[in-house]
Structure 1
Amino acid sequence: MSRFIPKGLVAVLLAFVAAMAEAAPVLVDDAWVAARLDDPNVVLVDMSDPTQYLRFHLPGAVHLPYDAIVKKPPAARFPTRLSDAELAALLGNVGIARDRHVVLYDDMGGLNAARLFWELERIGHPKVSVLDGGLVTWVLNGRRVVNEPVTRAPTTYTLDGPGRDNEATLAEVRSAAEGHSPLLLDVRSDEEYAGSPREPRSGHVPGAKLWSWDRALDLPRGFARRPPAALQPTLESLGVKKDRPVITYCRSGHRAAQTYLTLRSLGYDKVKVYANSMNEYAAHADAPLKKGREP
């Protein structure tokens, strides 16, 4: 017996299949990048320290320092992210258009690259990836580097509709602290999590689980991400599951974005970053904090 499939459903299915076929991998390795150094549709973005970029970088990589993607207005107590319009202008100024596959890297285990990865997913950039291990792995594997600065012709970066819902608010974090979903993941150090008796506004958000961001890195392999089999059991033991929303936080959103990248690379989709993190949370005198090593 023949089966009838409505044309509308066929169109939706075809669009879904096409999107899946074109989806960019969250992490790419050095061989993947090396094979695409001459691809005009791929834009390499180096987010290492400016001095390091001048020493050497990947062929064709433009430089975009971390400080360029955060701002601290004169009256602000802490740095915040750029507005969507400011981010779009910055991307256009360094020659990044929305139709390009952006591949980010740094020399810090993905700390800087992860922050821009999170931002680009937030504004719905279609294709963005991070070089696993970044510059360190690239060099350890004997890949070619150059020291001439690279510039691209400025362009217009067009914002096009909503992106991924991946930014948590203070209200969401406070709700989670009261025992509601989602799960809070504190990715700072043990000492920061435990807090100091000499600092009244220190410690962690009540209920938050500790998972330091650098647990994801395989240092002997050049700061590459550790294999999923080494990461997922520890995450699952903390209650991090693929069907459960998670909010990552640190002090400024820097390390939290790196853990966001780790979770996204492992297939977790319900992840948000509390971008202002403890800089904002601890500044609210009525926001509860807990000291010690227990959630």
Structure 2
Amino acid sequence: MEAVIRRILFLAVILFIYGGSAFASVAVDGGWLEPRLDDPDLILIDMSSDPTQYQRFHIPGAVHIPYKYLTATRRDGVSVRAGDRQLKQILGYLGITPESQIVIYDDMGGLEAGRLFWELERIGHENLALLDGGLVKWILDGKRVVARESEPRSKAYPGALGEVRANVADIEQVQAALKDGKTRLLDVRSREEYAGDRRAKRSGHIPGAGWWPWEESVRFDQGFVLREEAQLRESLAALGLEDPETPVILYCRTGHRASQSYYVLRRLGYRDVKIYDGSMAEWSRTTLPLKEGMEP
């Protein structure tokens, strides 16, 4: 009962601070986090992109997990999610239980942290947020960092993992989405990758996919926080995505950048969002069509 009460309070406080906006229901800022660093019920996870960054300095109390631990490489060279067995080991190492209150941060505007957010949403974890701006904004705000590593409070993750939120798409689902007339496909890679290179044997984007580059959602000049809600919604509306009920499938090269975009869409309140796990690394290995140029 006590754990349930803590869960309700965690979610209620986040919603209260951000005015109940769907835009921020999965986000916290440094002002919220700083006075809670000593909370024994909070698990703070550092996913800085440089493996030595955590050793140099990090937010007090944070435990580190590299992005690569959440992925695996298939025999054909395609990078995909690591699978439930490895995820359960990682959750146990970090001391995460289904009742844990989790805040994740990185130093790349959510590029790394978005992957764990995606995985935790898939198994139905509710007490979950990203630190807006991550380590960069924390430092720019003059908040304390430490070099001493924190030991995770490891424990076996109870029970089996299962898919609670259907947020993973395979290649068959992508093909079906191109025909159903409802699902929108978004390519979040660079302009050059989306447009393709006519000199390459196979390049470009999946026909019908809109271009929504992940980095355009981040204010790199303002501490790596996300852009204002209105700007993000305007960019999505230009792609025909005004309605947050519209099903969306995201892809990039390996699902890495798509994880950040997944977080952004979920923060904006889009309900049915999936990542094409194999992404272009898989699609380009097939004979399925690709389109060059900037038209979907």
Q: Does the alignment reach a TM-score above 0.5? A: yes
Residue identity in the other structure for 1:254: H
Q: Is the 8 A contact 1:187 1:248 kept in 2?
A: yes
Superposition pairs for residues 61-100 of structure 1, below 5 Å?
A: 61-73=62-74, 75-100=75-100
1:27 is matched with which residue?
27
Q: Matched residue of 2:120: which SS?
A: helix
Task: Mark the CA change 1:279 to 1:203 in structure 2 (over 3 Å): closer, same or farther.
Answer: same
Moved more, 164-173 or 204-213: 164-173
* The one of 245, 248, 262 aligned to 2:247: 245
Q: Is the 8 A contact 2:114 2:262 kept in 1?
A: yes
Moved more, 176-185 or 237-246: 176-185
- In the TM superposition, residue 273 of structure 1 has moved relative to its aligned partner by 0.9
Does residue 1:209 correspond to 2:210, yes or no? Answer: yes
Q: Is the 8 A contact 1:124 1:160 kept in 2?
A: no
| CA displacement, residues 44-102 of structure 1 (integer Å, 9 cap, x when unaligned) | 000012211111000000000111111225x3412221111220111102322221111
Over aligned residue pairs, what C-alpha RMSD do you find?
A: 1.9
1:47 is matched with which residue?
47
| CA displacement, residues 165-221 of structure 1 (integer Å, 9 cap, x when unaligned) | 111111111123346331001100110000111212210000000010011111221
Does residue 1:119 correspond to 2:119, yes or no? Answer: yes
| CA displacement, residues 99-123 of structure 1 (integer Å, 9 cap, x when unaligned) | 1111111111110000110011011
1:279 is matched with which residue?
281
Superposition pairs for residues 221-260 of structure 1, below 5 Å?
A: 221-240=222-241, 241-260=243-262
1:289 and 1:273 map into 2 onto residues whose CA distance is: 18
1:85 and 1:125 map into 2 onto residues whose CA distance is: 17
Q: Matched residue of 1:107: which SS?
A: coil
1:289 and 1:28 map into 2 onto residues whose CA distance is: 39
1:294 is matched with which residue?
295
1:28 and 1:191 map into 2 onto residues whose CA distance is: 33
- The structure with the larger Rg is 1
Q: Is the 8 A contact 1:184 1:208 kept in 2?
A: yes
List gaps (5 residues or longer) in structure 1: 1-16
2:33 and 2:134 map into 1 onto residues whose CA distance is: 11
Q: Is the 8 A contact 1:217 1:225 kept in 2?
A: yes
Superposition pairs for residues 132-151 of structure 1, below 5 Å?
A: 132-151=132-151
Count how many residue pairs are aligned between Structure 1 and Structure 2.
277
- In the TM superposition, residue 161 of structure 1 has moved relative to its aligned partner by 5.0
List gaps (5 residues or longer) in structure 2: 1-7, 16-24
Does residue 1:195 correspond to 2:207, yes or no? Answer: no
Runs of 4+ more than 6 Å apart = 17-20
1:266 is matched with which residue?
268
Q: Is the 8 A contact 2:11 2:127 kept in 1?
A: no
Q: Matched residue of 2:168: which SS?
A: coil
1:9 is matched with which residue?
none
1:144 and 1:45 map into 2 onto residues whose CA distance is: 16
Taking every aligned residue pair, what percent have the same amino acid on both sides?
Answer: 48
2:28 and 2:276 map into 1 onto residues whose CA distance is: 26
1:14 is matched with which residue?
none
Q: Matched residue of 2:53: which SS?
A: helix
TM-score (norm 1): 0.89
Task: Mark the CA change 1:200 to 1:217 in structure 2 (over 3 Å): closer, same or farther.
Answer: same
Task: Mark the CA change 1:181 to 1:262 in structure 2 (over 3 Å): closer, same or farther.
Answer: same
Q: Matched residue of 2:52: which SS?
A: helix
